Amino acid sequence: MPEGDTIFRAARTLHRALAGRTVTRFETVFPAVSRVDDDRPLVGRTIEGVSAVGKNVMMRFSGDLILRTHLRMNGSWHIYRPGERWQRSAAALRVLVETADFVAVGFDVPVAELLTPRALARHPQLRRLGPDLLAETFDEDEAVRRLRARAGDPIADVLLDQAVVAGAGNVYKSEILFLCRTHPRTAVGELSDATLREIVRTGRRLLAANVGGAAPGHSVPYTGLRRTTRRADPTARLWVYGRRGAPCRTCGAAVVADKGGLHARSTYWCPGCQPETGAHTNVSSPAPSRLT
């Protein structure tokens, strides 16, 4: 499933291309969306904006209609100029929004809905979303409260639950816990509030650095490759994720990995920096001794 930074960048790209423009063509393969469009056509409406809410892309139209899409594992949005050749087959088209200048195509999008603001506010999946790590108005206290409510569960599993905090995925889960020197199987109840706050703040810092925005302590802006190490070298951009068997960039121990949780997602960690001892060091700004 795409992580929060990927969804944020997709929504921002759509917003830059489409906001303020008039819909000239709309297509979809979703019958429920087609029925709404038949009753309240999107053609002729202005696209007021596109934003990310957790891992949802929200496209707002004049006249109080919102197109919600969720990409899950395989969905993606592409932007083309009218007449430009698509990079994907038309058979993969699920939603199309065209203006005079751009065509936005949702390929293999598994979830799409046309909603009113009232329906959106009452949407069961959106109402249960936790605080969004990329939101400007982020409620850290609420995030910690939701984490604490899962006291008996491993922190690695809890970080993936979008009802606790929205935006973190498999890569960030491993990278956040490495930077906070926390073993992924540690039960939330074993962690102090200070450590939980550091986990949340680290998540916000890493995601912010990977959407092109300024992030405290980051000297390397986002350039197209997700990175958590502050290094421009593309071969040294992540601490532990995807590096099973490689030496830890801090202590040299071999990075390990296993699969666990409801969906058997891979988790990477360093047994030297993240010992399974119950004594986890809270660090506000990790300063690695070396980087390989």
Q: What is the CATH number of the domain that holds 150?
A: 1.10.8.50
Per the residue annotation, which of 3, 98, 175, 198 is the catalytic one?
A: 3
Residue 235 pLDDT class (50, 70, 90 cuts): confident
Regarding whether 63 and 34 lie in a shared domain, the answer is: yes
Q: What is the pLDDT of residue 283?
A: 40
pTM reported for the whole predicted model: 0.80
Regarding whether 251 and 191 lie in a shared domain, the answer is: yes
Domain that holds residue 169: 142-269
pLDDT in tens, 165-196: 998 989 999 999 999 999 999 999 999 999 99
| Known catalytic membership, residue 3 | yes
Q: Strands 76-80, 93-98: parallel, antiparallel or unpaired by DSSP?
A: unpaired
Q: Is residue 164 part of a domain?
A: yes
pLDDT > 70: percent of the chain: 89
What is the 8-class DSSP label of residue 185? T
Q: How far is CA 241 from CA 177, 178, 232, in A?
A: 11, 9, 17
| Known catalytic membership, residue 128 | no
If one counts the domains in the chain, the total is 2
Per the residue annotation, which of 237, 265, 275, 288 is the catalytic one?
A: 265
| Known catalytic membership, residue 113 | no
| Known catalytic membership, residue 82 | no
pLDDT in tens, 118-168: 999 999 888 899 999 998 889 999 999 999 999 999 999 999 999 999 989
Indicate the average pLDDT of the chain: 88
Regarding whether 169 and 107 lie in a shared domain, the answer is: no
- What is the mean pLDDT of the segment spanning 70-78? 90
Q: What are the backbone dihedrals phi and psi of residue 46, each rounded to the nearest 5 degrees, phi first? A: -95, 135
Q: What are the backbone dihedrals phi and psi of residue 36, each rounded to the nearest 5 degrees, phi first? A: -65, -40
CATH number at residue 36: 3.20.190.10
Residue 223 pLDDT class (50, 70, 90 cuts): very low
Q: What is the pLDDT of residue 226?
A: 84
Per the residue annotation, which of 55, 201, 227, 249 is the catalytic one?
A: 55
Regarding whether 118 and 147 lie in a shared domain, the answer is: no
